[in-house]
Structure 1
């Protein structure tokens, strides 16, 4: 394609994935726009200059029409080319060469450089900021709503800047040209235009703020609607299992109705504005026409001047509707940007310390020193004065009733939240002073409710170690007893085995298959510290028994923290840490704690039904010790 090199050049003017200084985007509209615009401002500056020149060539058309009419009205046909040929050639070059060239250049800058690459730059940087938010950030919003804002805000920001450039140029050039050209024909011709412009501006000042508010409210309503729809689709199994399809209909219909009413309010403003502009335009057309004819009758202006006034007035009227549409679109986009800023510009709450070092794990000792933590402004601490030392290679089980603080303690160890007080150390290094990436790279975790990425089996297992070979991935799968079902997997697009995609959150796999893939992922990671949150709870007894050997291998030589409920997990722990009400209330082995008759003994008896199960647990513990 002959234009391919040209397209490539202009497409390279904005590099969306270039290196940049990561920072939280400003929370003001001007600051937010400037944050992204300053990275590409030379391209927009050239767009403005080229657009200005092209718009001037458009205005020249009206002046040329008037000039040609006057020449043809008075010139001798025999002398036409001799007297005016050079002038005609200039007109032809401006209209036939310069104007198309400027239009083509303007289109290349706008379409190839800005339209695609600029939103990609905004989305990339916005995503990189949002994905590093704390766990609580995502817990407080719909995932679909957050994603919608990241995507839509970029388009709205680009559209706002492009609209500002185009509208600014056309308004300045056309309105100024109208005043100049009308004044040159006869100063009295500018009176209707000035009055019309004043009324037009007053109308804008009256309606634009209302449109801005309506657009922002409409954008928020649309984001909420998307969030509700995505929430229903994401949890479709729950919707169907509880036979709540009609309830979901009502849930989404409420959001649709609210969104529709916000849209209707916005459209009412637009229609009122359109009617007002139509009345103003009719008044300008009639008053200018009458005045021009009256001036021509008195010999004050020529026929060419009448043609100029008529054509330029009609252009102003057509443009006034376009400008009003652009202004409406402008503030709708600004409303979308304002709405998106609330999410995108949210500052990170869990951040690396200045000059944070990489975590170095030499032994794997973990110490919790007077750890305090509370969620939000509830005032009630979730953890209160946790002191615990876990020796290198030791395996402890966290036990306690729901709400005791077990998951919270694990989340703090992973630094998904920051402590309220105290500190957590790994081999003497405070986790608050090391980078989050290196901290979590040294910790493997298998959760009770495993959700996989909507990607291939290879991607899901290999996520633990980028660059791992298929042989290494399959070895980990075999150790997790997942190799037996992986070759038989086929997705809807015919991809099989390691290439098969697992669906959103892994819905195409059974619970046991998902858990085995998750265990394979942690086996491949081979981190020195391990967190298990009921890692085998989704497996049937036969598969669980088969995986126990893999878990023993996985735990070998590692410091392990396991949230423990089941016999198979508890029996293999060196110590059990019993929590209640955000505190550690008991510490010891299974035998010691059951003999003590405290909270653990009561929980154990309630779970197993008494001493028979307890005897089984003790025998299992003895067998594991002999092993």
Structure 2
């Protein structure tokens, strides 16, 4: 316990959650602004983080050098003792060589232990828990700042793997350089100097060995670096496929009767196995080469030592010291080559991770962006155009003005552009031309955080966080009291089923966790939790994209009054294929191929006999019956 208390003093030297991005001053408190990007070059990436922990890393560098020095002294000391024993009688040995013995005992018992203890504290208390995780934390924060499109184009599991790998690989790389590699370099230099003092020919052998070792590093290790990067990428790909399968396990169970998912995952795994095999073949080649080189080095030094001893130029202790040093060098060089292999593989992993972590978000706040100020809630789409980068029209020269407090329904066939308009208003994408304003403020000129804080959203595909019911309801307003959370749940007609919930850990009611994406709840239950979340957030603008699609008619009727109450005094944009749910809104906007083709109240549009009337006629039980329509947006 005393040791634990002592070691804890070193654990807070580095803060794992510190971030050197300039915008951290703002982002930490109110999420305004963006953090500075991380370097997109592996060397600069490593140096960026090394500077943040310079004192512990300098300490590790010193300990690495002292470790090599202690190793050299201990093996050289064997030779000193042998010479001392040869020239002294046993009776007077201790008296005549007291300081030699005392010095070697100090180095062996105290000095070595102190150096190893200091290195262990630096690595295990300061660097591994905090430095590694600081890299992960800063990497996570850069990825989470990326645009919605970024996450649509990649596996969530692969992105998580990159964050994990970035911290581990960068930390291992720095520790290996400063402690292991530097200790080895120190030992090699001291060994060459010591053996040169015994017999200059030994230092020549070691110098030639050093050149051969460097040649192998320069010519054989680059291939390992490339293969290490390929292995890291293959690993993240197959991991991403596994996570994708697990995340969508219901679809896999329902539709994958021929086990195609196994083949998909196996293909990724097979590529990873092949990448590992290629890497291992290269490792076997270099291990064999270093074994041959070390054999030549030990034979050369041993031969010179014996010849020198026969000629009387090398003492018995000198032979013992030389053989001890080269045997230790053989052991260290093989171990060091393994570490250099790891060093190169880690460097490849860092390069691979940096390619994902470092790119600038393609949708960011302007440097002078200010928080959105919503006074009336007027929304305007002004001659906007958006193509999803495809070149073909999705939204073309679209204009729509929504008055403060007006309730507007967007109607049209699937693929007409309704959800696209909602996503553009939320600035999940930037318009290609034109502008969108709220109370006259261009949403491209305000901060994304303040924009989305002013809008409450309920979507058809409701995904909850794998947290408690209470945390999900209060996600948009974390400071809400329990009473406010309970009230929102009651108004969303969720208060009856929440007390019946249980999770595997024994939590119940509002403390029960909902599973990944809320999978433990039914679609209707998830929808009611999402509605409760929006009710609690109480934002001045509401976006309802099929907000009641997962509810049966009885439940929908039960909460309709609360929804109407929720919409009072707010600007509302609602999308629904079930037209009866939006027929009573102030105005209906009928969209087809990204353009407004009709607008007005329900009764007026029915009388006109246009597209809206056709959609209404094709409904069966309140749903659009167009079987030819594409999948919902």
- Offset, 1:596: 2.1
CA contact (8 A) 2:11 2:126 kept: yes
1:211–1:332 contact (8 Å) kept in structure 2: yes
555-564 vs 90-99, which moves further: 90-99
Correspondent of 1:130 among 143, 159, 178: 143
Please tell me whether the aligned partners of residues 583 and 602 of structure 2 are also in contact (alpha carbons under 8 angstroms): yes
Unaligned runs of 5+ in 1: 614-627
Residue number among 212, 217, 228 corresponding to 1:204 in the alignment? 217
Q: Give the whole-Å Cα distance in 1 for the aligned partners of 2:124 and 2:75.
A: 28
| 1:14 and 2:27 are equivalent in the alignment | no
Q: 1:90 to 1:568 in 2, by over 3 A?
A: same
Alignment partner, residue 616 of structure 1:
none
Query: Which residue, out of 1, 22, 28, partners 2:41?
Result: 28
Count residues with an aligned counterpart: 611
Determine if the alignment matches structure 1 residue 315 to structure 2 residue 313.
no
1:572 aligns with 584
Deviations 1:160-185 (A, max 9, x none): 11111124313321111111011100
Corresponding position of 1:275: 288
Q: Does 1:260 align with 2:256?
A: no
Q: CA deviation at 1:285?
A: 1.7
Matched residues in 1 for 2:221 and 2:212: separation?
14
Q: Deviations over 1:277-309 (max 9, x none)?
A: 111122222222122111111111000000011
Structure 2 residue 177 is matched with structure 1 residue 158: no
* CA distance in structure 1 between the aligned counterparts of 2:538 and 2:122, rounded to whole angstroms: 50
Distance 1:609 1:312, change over 3 A: closer
Q: Secondary structure at the match of 1:385?
A: strand
Q: How does 1:450-599 map to 2 (within 5 A)?
A: 450-599=462-611
1:214 deviates by: 0.3
Distance 1:572 1:297 in 2: 109
* Residue 361 of structure 2, aligned match among 348, 352, 357: 348
Q: Say if 2:165 and 2:349, in contact at 8 Å, map to a contact too.
A: yes
**d(CA) in 2 for partners of 1:469, 1:7:** 39
Q: Report the Cα distance in structure 2 between the residues aligned to 1:75 and 1:382, rounded to whole angstroms.
A: 97
Which moves more between the two structures, 353-362 or 265-274?
A: 353-362
**8 Å Cα contact 2:68-2:184 kept in structure 1:** no
1:169-216 per-residue CA deviation (whole Å, 9 max, x = no partner) reads 133211111110111001111222222222222222221110000000
> Partners in 1 of 2:449 and 2:292 — Cα distance?
63
Q: Which moved more, 1:8-17 or 1:499-508?
A: 8-17
Name the CA distance, whole Å, in 2 between partners of 1:423 and 1:7.
Answer: 58
- Paired position in structure 2 for 1:367: 380
More deviation in 578-587 or 486-495? 578-587
Please give the alpha-carbon distance, in whole angstroms, between the structure 2 residues aligned to 1:559 and 1:215: 54
2:80 aligned with 1:77: no
Give the CA deviation at 1:601.
Answer: 2.3
- Decide whether the 8 Å contact of 2:63 with 2:179 is kept in 1: no
1:10-52 deviation digits (Å, cap 9, x = unpaired): 1111111235323111111111112222211221011101221
Q: Output the CA distance in 1 between the equivalents of 2:249 and 2:401.
A: 43
**Secondary structure in 1 matching 2:503:** coil
Deviates more, 1:93-102 or 1:324-333: 93-102
Q: 2:206 aligns with which of 156, 181, 193?
A: 193
Equivalent position of 1:86 in the other structure: 99
Counterpart selection for 1:397 from 409, 433, 454: 409
1:407 corresponds in structure 2 to 419
Describe the SS at the equivalent of 1:39.
helix
TM-score by length of 1: 0.95
SS at match of 2:437: strand
Indicate conservation of the 8 Å contact 2:67/2:183, yes or no: no
Give 3-state SS (helix, strand or coil) of 1:183's partner: helix
**Deviation of the 1:404 alpha carbon:** 1.3
Partner Cα distance (2:57, 2:192) in 1: 28
Cα distance in 1 for partners of 2:617, 2:14 equals 67
Match in the other structure for 1:424: 436
User: CA offsets, 1:118-169, max 9 Å, x none?
Assistant: 1111111111111111110000001111111111211111011111112431
Question: Is the deviation greater in 451-460 or in 546-555?
Answer: 546-555
- Which region of structure 1 is more displaced relative to structure 2, 243-252 or 430-439? 243-252
Contact 2:146–2:363 (Cα < 8 Å) also in 1: yes
Equivalent residue for 2:616?
604
CA shift digits 1:363-394 (9 cap, x unpaired) = 11111111122213x21232111111101110
SS state of the match for residue 387, structure 1?
Answer: strand
**Alpha-carbon contact 2:372-2:447 (below 8 Å) kept:** yes
Task: Report the Cα offset of residue 425 of structure 1.
Answer: 1.1
2:4 match: 4
Secondary structure at 1:369's aligned position in 2?
Answer: strand
1:224 is matched with which residue?
237
Change in 2 beyond 3 A, CA 1:111/1:222: same
CA distance in 2, matches of 1:43, 1:392: 58
2:61 is the counterpart of 1:48 = yes
2:264 aligns to what?
Answer: 251
Establish whether residue 139 from structure 1 lines up as the match of residue 152 from structure 2: yes
- In 2, the alpha carbon distance for the partners of 1:358 and 1:232 equals 40
Partner of 2:400, secondary structure, is strand
Q: 1:363 to 1:327 in 2, by over 3 A?
A: same
Determine if contact 1:239/1:245 at 8 Å carries over to the other structure.
Answer: no
Distance between the aligned counterparts of 1:37 and 1:255, measured in 2?
Answer: 34
Range with bigger deviation, 596-605 or 534-543: 596-605
1:604 Cα shift? Answer: 2.4
Question: Normalised by the size of structure 2, how large is the TM-score?
Answer: 0.94
CA contact 1:398–1:406 (8 Å) conserved in 2: yes
Deviations 1:387-410 (A, max 9, x none): 111011101111111221111110
The 3-state SS of whatever aligns with 2:542 is strand
Q: Tell me the alpha carbon deviations over residues 530-549 of structure 1, each in whole angstroms, 9 at most, x when there is no partner.
A: 00001110011111111211
Q: Over residues 56-86 of structure 1, what are the superposed CA-to-partner deviations in whole Å (9 max), with x where a residue is unaligned?
A: 1121102211111101101233433333212
Please report the RMSD computed on the Cα atoms of aligned residues, expressed in angstroms.
1.6
